[in-house]
A and B are shown apart, each in its own frame.
Chain A
Amino acid sequence: MSRVQTLDRPAQASIRRRSGKLRDSRITLSHGSGGKAMRDLIDDVFVGSFGNAVLEPLEDQARLNLTDLVAQGDRLAFTTDSYVVDPLFFPGGDIGALAVNGTINDLAVSGARPLYLSCSVILEEGLSVETLRRVAHSMAETARATNVAIVTGDTKVVPRGAADKLFINTAGIGVIPENTNIAAERARPGDVVIVNGTIGDHGAAILCARQDLALRTTVESDCRPLHDLIDAMIKACSDIHCLRDATRGGVATVLNEFAQAASVCIRFDETSIPVREPVKGVCEILGLDPLYMANEGKLVAVVPKDSAEAVLAAMRAHAAGREAAVIGEVTAEPESVVLLRTVFGGERIVDMLVGEQLPRIC
C-alpha cells in the first residue's frame, strides 16, 4: 500500500507562517502531499496550537540550547512512545493528552525534568478536521500546563483503512539532575513499595468507553503528568531506588520487572491496593484483574524503609498522590518472584501476563 510521504518544507515557509488556513472538513491524501494543503494543515492546526519559539522557525529539526540543558543536570533522558488508543476521546482524557502525559511520565520516572517533545501524527484519509483540531488543542493545553514545549513534528496521511483514524508518536527529551540514580535493579531487601493512588482506572475507562460492552460506569481515566509529583518525592527522599509508571501490563508487570532486575522478592498485600469500586465491578464482570489493568497516571516506587513515611507524606500532599499507599515490601528470598497476600488471607504468585488479558467465558 502506498504511503504518501511528507516532503521538506519550502524555504519560504517561515515567512508565510500562520498564514495558512485549513478550510476542509475532512483529511484527504493531499494534506500529506507536501503541498499547500499540508502547509495549511500544519500552520492552522499544529503551529497555531503548539506555538513556541523553538518550533516556529519551522526548520526540519528543533535546535536546542546545550548550555541551558547542561545547567539543569548531567545526563539527557530520551524516550519515545506511540499512541493508538481507541476511542480517541474517553472519560478523563483523549489521545492528545495521553500522548503528551505518557511521554512526560516515561521521562519523569528517571527523575528527569521533561523539557521538549516531538509530535508525529499518522492520519487516516477521511478523518474529520474537527477531531484533529480537538486532539491538537488537547496536546497543546497539556503541554502548556506541564511547561513542556512541543518543538518538532511530522504529518503523514495514509489511505482509508491503512490506519485507524489517528496515531500519534511523541518523543521526549529531559535532563536528569546530578546524583539522581533511579533504576529497577536498585530494589533492596527492606525497601518499601508505594503506589500513588487507585489502580486500573484507565484500563476500565477505555473498556467501558468502547461501545461494544454496553457497560456504564462513572470511572474516568487517570491520564495525568507525574513529573511534578516525582519532583516532590525526590525532594522528600533524594535516594529513591526504583520508579516506573504502571501503564500497559499494570502494577503487576512493574513489580515483576523490579523483582527480576534486582533479583529480589516483592511481597504485597491485596487489601492495601487502592482500587475504585466501579473498577472492581468492571473487572469482576469481565473476569479481569485490576493488577494487570493499564494506568496512565500511576507510578510504583521502591524507597528505603526509613524514607517511606516522608515520601508518602509528600505524595499525599500532591494532587497526583492523594490516595498514595504503601502496598508491600522487598525481601531477599525467593528471588525474582512477586508474592501477593490475597484479601482472603492466602498467598499466591503474581506473574507477568502471557499475551493479552482476555475475558473468561464463565
Chain B
Amino acid sequence: MKYVDEFRDPVKARVLLKEIEALVLRIAICRQRPLQLMEVCGGHAHSIFKYGIEPMLPKAIEFVHGPGCPVCVLPMGRVDDCVALAEHPQVIFTTFGDAMRVPGSKKSLLQARADGADVRMVYSPMDALKIARANPHREVVFFALGFETTMPSTAFTVLRAEREGVKNFSLFCNHITIIPTIKAILDSPELTLDGFLGSGHVSMVIGTAPYEFIARHYRKPIVVAGFEPLDILQSVWMLLKQLTEGRCEVENQYQRVVPDAGNDQALIAVGRVFELREFFEWRGLGSIDHSGIRLKESYARFDAERKFSVPNLKIADPKSCQCGEVLKGVIKPWDCKVFGGACTPETPLGALMVSSEGACAAYYNYGGVDLARLIRARAEEAPAEAGT
C-alpha cells in the first residue's frame, strides 16, 4: 500500500485545490456557467465518489460522468443472450463478478444461476480457460466484456486456447472501443463539454495518439489521467491550465503507467484475433458505428455467437430513462424523473444505475446529504409511479 498512499495525501490535495481555485477565476466560461469536464472512464467516476472529490472542487467545475463503464452500457438484449447461453445445459458460463447483477429483460445472470444455470465468477479469462481444461465434456463460454483495458487479456487467452488445442472454450464477445463513442458524444448537438479526462487504463494499451482528433478536430483539451485522487486533481489542474492558456492538446498525466505509444504486444494480440463490428448497440446511447469488437473469421471456432444460437433481440431502453442525456452532460442524474424512485440500484431501469461505476448509482450511493433527502422523498412517491 505504500505505493498508493502518496497519491492520497490530503496535504498535497489542498495545495492543488488552491491552484485550481486560482485558475478557475481566470477562465471566462466559468463566469457564465459551470465548466463541464467529462471523465470518460467508470474507474475515474468511482474514485471521484469514493474519495468525495467533487464537493472539494470549486462550484464552477462540474464532472460529467461519461460512458466508460462497460457493464453499464451493455444493452439488455445482450444480457438476454448471456442468459440464453448460460441456460444451455452443456454450457458453463464464466463472467466477471460485477456483470452478474446486470438485469436483462427477464433476468440477470445471478437469477439465471439461482434458476439452475451453471454460472461461475472468474477474475480473469485465463481462469475460464482453466475451467475449460478441467471440464473437457462441457462447453465453457467466457463473457468477454470491457474496453481496450480488458481486450488484451481476452486476446491472449484465445491465442493460448488455440496453441493448446482447447476445443470447448469460446467467447461471448462484448468488447467495445471507446474512441467512436467519444466521437459520437462530441458530434451531439446538445454538447457543452469543455474538456476530457481520458482513461489511464485504456491508454495503457492504446497510447495517447488515438485521442489527437479530440484536440485537433473538436478543439477540446484532454488529459490522460490516473485513478488515485491526486491523479484526478492534477489532471483537472492540467485541463484548466490548457483552458487558461487557450491550448487544446492531448496531455499525459499518468506517465508512470501510460507510455505515449501504448503497448505494442497487447495491440498485436488484439489485432490478431479481433476486428471491428459494423455497429454496436449501447445502452443509453443507441447504435454507434464501429464501436463493437468481435472475433475474426479465422477465430470463429472460439466465438460463442457462432457456436450456439443466441436470440440476438434488440430490447429498447425503458422510455422513462434519460441515461443518454446524463451521459452527454445535458442533465444531472437527479434531474432524471425516475432517479431514486422507480430507478434504484436494487431495481435499475437505466444503464447508469446498473453498476457501482455508473454515474446514477454512484450519486445514489455516495451522493451528499441533500441527495439522500431527495432519494428518500422520491422513494416514498415511487409506489404510485412504478405501475405506470
**A and B co-occur in one complex:** yes
* CB neighbors of A among B85-113 (8 A): 96-101, 110
B56 on the A face (CB < 8 A): yes
| CB neighbours of A16 from chain B (8 A) | none
Q: How far is the CB of A260 from chain B (nearest CB, A)?
A: 12
User: When the two chains form their complex, are residues B96 and A345 in contact, meaning their CB atoms are under 8 A apart?
Assistant: no
Complex: A355 Cα to B345 Cα, angstroms: 10
**B49-89 near A? 1/0 per residue, CB < 8 Å:** 11111111000000000000011000000000000000000
Contact B1 A284 (CB under 8 A): yes
| Chain A residues with CB under 8 A of B372 | 334, 337, 349
Does B193 make an interface contact (CB < 8 A)? Answer: no
A15 sits at the interface (CB 8 A): no
Distance, CA A44 to CA B50, complexed state (A): 53
Residues B42 and A362 in contact, CB atoms below 8 Å apart: yes
Minimum distance in angstroms from B194 CB to a CB of chain A: 23
**Which residue of chain B has its CB nearest to the CB of A343?**
B8
CB contacts under 8 Å to B, within A21-50, are none
**Residue-by-residue, is A150-180 near B (CB-CB < 8 Å gives 1, otherwise 0)?**
0000000000000000000000000000000
B145: chain A residues within 8 A (beta carbon): 361
Q: How far is B1's CA from A37's CA once the two chains are assembled, in angstroms?
A: 53
Which residues of chain B are within 8 angstroms of A213 by Cβ–Cβ distance? 123
Contact A351 B365 (CB under 8 A): yes
Within 8 A of B (CB), among A332-362: 334, 337, 339-349, 351, 354-355, 358-362
**Any B CB within 8 A of the CB of A87:** no
* A74 CB–B CB distance under 8 Å: no
- Give chain A nearest CB distance to B34 CB in angstroms: 18
Residues on the A chain within 8 Å of B127, using CB? 212
Chain A residues, CB < 8 A from B122? 212
Which residues from chain A contact B56 at a C-beta distance below 8 Å? 344-346
Give the distance in Å from the alpha carbon of A347 to the alpha carbon of B123 in the complex. Answer: 31
- Which of these, B8, B10, B49, B99, contacts A361 with CB under 8 Å? B99
B97–A358 touching, CB < 8 Å:
yes
**Count the B residues whose beta carbon is within 8 Å of the partner chain — how many?**
50
Within 8 A of A (CB), among B1-56: 1, 4, 8, 10, 13-14, 42-43, 46, 49-56
In the bound complex, CA of A351 to CA of B346 (Å): 13
Q: Which residue of A lies closest to B367 (CB)?
A: A349
B180 at the interface (CB under 8 A from A): no
Query: Do the beta carbons of B123 and A334 come within 8 Å of each other?
Result: no
Nearest Cβ in chain A — how far from B256, in angstroms? Answer: 16
The complex places the Cα of A360 from the Cα of B50 at a distance, in Å, of: 14
Query: In the complex, A177→B101 CA distance in Å?
Result: 45
CB nearest neighbor in A for B344: A354
* Contacting pair B1 A344 (CB below 8 A): no
B116 CB, nearest partner CB in chain A, Å: 13
Task: Tell me, yes or no, whether A137 is within 8 Å of chain B by CB.
Answer: no
Name the residue of chain A whose CB is nearest to the CB of B68. A362
Contact A358 B101 (CB under 8 A): yes
Q: Given that A346-B53, A362-B70 are known contacts, is A355 also in contact with B101, CB under 8 Å in the complex? A: yes
Contact between chains at B123 and A212 (CB < 8 Å):
yes
* Chain B CB within 10 Å, residue with most, of A213, A344, A346: A344
Q: Judging by beta carbons under 8 Å apart, are B345 and A344 in contact?
A: no
Nearest B residue to A340, CB-CB: B52
Per-residue B-contact encoding for A268-288, CB less than 8 Å = 1, 0 else:
000000000100110010100
CB-defined contacts of A359 to chain B, threshold 8 Å: 96-98, 123
The verdict on A361 contacting B96 (CB below 8 Å), with A281-B1, A348-B366 known, is: yes
Task: Give the number of A-B contacts (CB < 8 Å).
Answer: 100
Cβ contact within 8 Å between B369 and A360 = no
- Do residues B52 and A344 form an inter-chain contact, with CB atoms below 8 A? yes
Query: A342–B10 Cα gap in the complex (Å)?
Result: 10
* C-alpha spacing A340/B13, complex, angstroms: 18
Known contacts: A346-B56, A360-B356, A361-B145. The answer to whether A354 contacts B51 by CB under 8 A is no
Chain B residues with CB under 8 Å of A348's CB are: 49-52, 366-368
Across the interface, A345 reaches (CB within 8 A) one of B10, B50, B369, B371, namely B10
| Residue B305 lies at the interface, judged by CB distance under 8 Å to chain A | no
Docked complex Cα distance between A31 and B346 (Å): 44
Q: Does A361 lie within 8 Å of B53, measured CB to CB?
A: no
A101, chain B: closest CB distance, angstroms: 28
Q: Does B340 contact A (CB under 8 A)?
A: no
Residues from chain A with Cβ under 8 Å of B98 in the complex? 358-361
Q: A339 near B4 (CB under 8 angstroms)?
A: no
B231 CB, nearest partner CB in chain A, Å: 12
Q: Is the CB of A334 within 8 A of B373?
A: yes
Contact residues, A314-343 vs B (CB, 8 A):
334, 337, 339-343
Residue of B nearest to A346 (CB): B52
16 A-B interface contacts by CB (under 8 A): A212-B127, A280-B1, A345-B14, A345-B52, A346-B52, A349-B369, A349-B372, A351-B366, A355-B346, A360-B98, A360-B357, A361-B98, A361-B145, A362-B43, A362-B147, A362-B149
Interface residues of A (CB under 8 A from B): 212-213, 277, 280-281, 284, 286, 334, 337, 339-349, 351, 354-355, 358-362
A213-B123, A344-B13, A346-B54 given. 14 additional CB < 8 A pairs?
A: A212-B122, A212-B123, A280-B1, A284-B1, A334-B369, A344-B10, A345-B52, A346-B51, A347-B55, A348-B50, A355-B101, A358-B100, A360-B46, A361-B146
Which residues of B are at the interface with A, using a C-beta cutoff of 8 A?
1, 4, 8, 10, 13-14, 42-43, 46, 49-56, 70-71, 96-101, 110, 121-123, 127, 145-147, 149-150, 201, 229, 345-346, 355-357, 365-369, 371-373
The 9 A-B residue pairs whose C-beta atoms are closest, nearest first, are A346-B52, A358-B97, A344-B51, A361-B96, A345-B10, A348-B52, A354-B345, A359-B97, A348-B366
